[in-house]
Amino acid sequence: MQYDPEQAMKWRLRAEMLRTRADATTNPVAKASFLALANTWDEKAAQAEKPRYLNPLPPKPE
């Protein structure tokens, strides 16, 4: 995944909306599902927030 802070912000907002729905529901299975999805979006956002660098060249064989 490439560095994309704008997309990460959208995914964090999506996660927050899911947490809001989880707080509003009384069904424990639905609540758990909403929270699991929110965590997934947060993880995806965290990956998009990390800058990516090219790997250095491997060491030359001796």
- Angle (deg, nearest 10), helices 5-24 and 28-49: 170
pLDDT at 61: 75
Cα separation, 39 vs 19, in Å, equals: 9
Q: What sign has the CA pseudo-torsion 51, 48, 46, 44?
A: negative
Cα separation, 12 vs 2, in Å, equals: 16
> What's the predicted TM-score (pTM) here?
0.76
Give the C-alpha distances (Å, rounded to integers) separating 33 from 13, 25, 39, 40, 50.
17, 11, 10, 11, 26
Which sequence spans correspond to the domains of the chain? 5-49
Q: What digits encode the pLDDT tens for the residues 20-54?
A: 999 999 999 999 999 999 999 999 999 888 876 65
